Structure 1
């Protein structure tokens, strides 16, 4: 297991831009989304950091506050209810997904975040001892806003979040989770904004083909886990491999990974990083197919709850 050596300066270094690859474009790299999970959250974060150097300092402060909350135990008690606003942008009738499909996504989020998902007790899970159990975070369908568009794809430059670019502005983003449903393009299934970014673009984006469990939901990403993954980012979770070879996700009870896992790895799959640990490929923050991911860790649960503490990044949701 990883040990965390976190200080504000280390956190600031973590958030520095690591490359100059432009991700905020209308069309992203052409990847077959049916073969590999594509999450653009890290790339979008790097673009935001390049555009706003002050964001790195703000996120380092959030990280320091998160670690202080974890160490002192000052987290929210009881159940945190998160109102969800779906912003549906559609060109075709298939993209104008049904209320039933939207509700199926809410249902998946509530099962995954309360550890009542049917695959939670998978018998061959080598990490059953550190499964999170109920995170005490609940999602409630608050509103559905629909808008017809002529755009065939939206990319990852947040255009769908701006009425001036043909999208929909967020509704009460400091007290409601805005979730945009649209065709992203480029093989990207979804992306999220981490805590600390502008409220005018805060929320999660999911491609309409990978949302919920019915309607247009497309195998192997047809069990609603793309939203579980992206909401994890929105609640300050990193990819489990730390977006670097043998990197850190800032959680103490998850093992070091070489990189992302795809498909459904065989039981016993190990990392070649130091100590060759068993990889937690069944974790929602990996890149496996929907049927291959079914748990958060205890450390991830504590980290997510920390963002709602008094003075924390999402305290306004209390």
Structure 2
């Protein structure tokens, strides 16, 4: 089990999930075969734009660590945290103009995954049954905003969030989770802004092909788990391998992973890190296929709850 490690590097990490570029060298129409990440590129761009970001993120980590040490369990309303969600749809083609039903399917997936109502939750191995979590956070669709565009792709520079660049600015980002559905390009599945970033760009971006239950053509990422993974980042979760060989995700009850896992790993999959633990490959914060991820841990639950506490980076949600 990992100890909590606070460092300038881990405190600065942002998340932008994409596939291996070699896997996406063909047509953008083809389904992506692998998850991957371009975190460093996004981090560097945001740090250039805002040199104080690293300081804010370090402060958030210090606050979170303090909450965890005090056995903080979170303040819930009727036992739940409810997050209003605004979905911003930017489309050039009819397929990109995803339906209300597809949008609702993503909200439904989030509600199932964050409340242990997903049918595959029962597949969590006995080894991890003592730490698997019902996070107790719910999501409610608040608004859908649509905008036609001539852009073929948006990239990862947050252009889709900026009106001046043809995008849609976030709606009430300090009290509502904004999701953007658009053609990101470059084989990218989606990316999230970690707590501490500017409110003008806060939220989660998901390629329209992987938004909600998007159909068999977009397998193995057609079950809405890109949204679950990215919202996890928005709620201050790290990748489970800590973005380093045998790194730390700052959660005590997740095993140390060698690195990210892809596809559908056979169980048990052993780490070669200290203690050779069985890796929690089915955790939402790994890189496995949608049908192979189906749990958060209690430690992740507590870490997410801490951001909504008084003094936390998302305390303005008013819970």
**Structure 1-normalised TM-score?**
0.91
Counterpart position of 1:118: 119
Instruction: Find the aligned partners of 1:308 and 1:224 in 2 and give their Cα distance.
Output: 24
Counterpart position of 1:202: 202
Displacement, 1:245? Answer: 1.0
CA separation of 1:83 and 1:42: change in aligned 2, threshold 3 A: farther
Displacement, 1:48? Answer: 1.3
Aligned residues: 305
CA separation of 1:209 and 1:149: change in aligned 2, threshold 3 A: same
Displacement, 1:136? Answer: 1.7
Q: Does the 8 Å contact 2:12/2:58 carry over to 1?
A: no
Instruction: Find the aligned partners of 1:285 and 1:193 in 2 and give their Cα distance.
Output: 15
Q: What are the Cα deviations for residues 279-298 of structure 1, in whole angstroms up to 9, with x where unaligned?
A: 11000000000000000000
Displacement, 1:276? Answer: 1.4
Counterpart position of 1:107: 108
Q: 2:249 aligned with 1:261, yes or no? A: no
Q: Which moved more, 1:32-41 or 1:194-203?
A: 32-41
Displacement, 1:188? Answer: 1.0
Query: Aligned runs of 1:163-242 on 2, under 5 Å?
Result: 163-214=163-214, 218-242=218-242
Instruction: Find the aligned partners of 1:123 and 1:143 in 2 and give their Cα distance.
Output: 34
Q: Does the 8 Å contact 1:17/1:46 carry over to 2?
A: no
**Structure 2-normalised TM-score?**
0.91
Instruction: Find the aligned partners of 2:217 and 2:110 in 1 and give their Cα distance.
Output: 15
What secondary structure, in the 3-state scheme, does the structure 1 residue paired with 2:119 have? coil
CA separation of 1:69 and 1:62: change in aligned 2, threshold 3 A: same
Counterpart position of 2:252: 252
Counterpart position of 1:157: 157
Q: What are the Cα deviations for residues 166-195 of structure 1, in whole angstroms up to 9, with x where unaligned?
A: 100000000000000001111110000000
Q: 2:67 aligned with 1:66, yes or no? A: no
Q: Pick one of 47, 55, 58 that aligns with 1:57.
A: 55
What secondary structure, in the 3-state scheme, does the structure 2 residue paired with 1:126 have? helix
CA separation of 1:258 and 1:48: change in aligned 2, threshold 3 A: same
Q: What are the Cα deviations for residues 254-313 of structure 1, in whole angstroms up to 9, with x where unaligned?
A: 111111100000011111112211111000000000000000000000000000000100
Q: Does the 8 Å contact 2:214/2:224 carry over to 1?
A: no
Q: 2:305 aligned with 1:305, yes or no? A: yes
| Consecutive unaligned residues in structure 2, runs of 5 or more | 25-30
Q: Pick one of 4, 11, 14 that aligns with 2:10.
A: 14
Q: CA RMSD in A?
A: 2.0
Q: Does the 8 Å contact 1:17/1:49 carry over to 2?
A: no
| Consecutive unaligned residues in structure 1, runs of 5 or more | none
Q: What are the Cα deviations for residues 30-65 of structure 1, in whole angstroms up to 9, with x where unaligned?
A: 643521013445542343124322111110000111
CA separation of 1:245 and 1:46: change in aligned 2, threshold 3 A: farther
Query: Aligned runs of 1:124-139 on 2, under 5 Å?
Result: 124=125, 126-132=127-133, 134-139=134-139
Counterpart position of 1:79: 80
Instruction: Find the aligned partners of 2:181 and 2:216 in 1 and give their Cα distance.
Output: 12
Instruction: Find the aligned partners of 1:15 and 1:64 in 2 and give their Cα distance.
Output: 9
Instruction: Find the aligned partners of 2:265 and 2:167 in 1 and give their Cα distance.
Output: 38
Counterpart position of 1:95: 96
Displacement, 1:17? Answer: 7.9
Instruction: Find the aligned partners of 2:140 and 2:39 in 1 and give their Cα distance.
Output: 23
Displacement, 1:128? Answer: 1.9
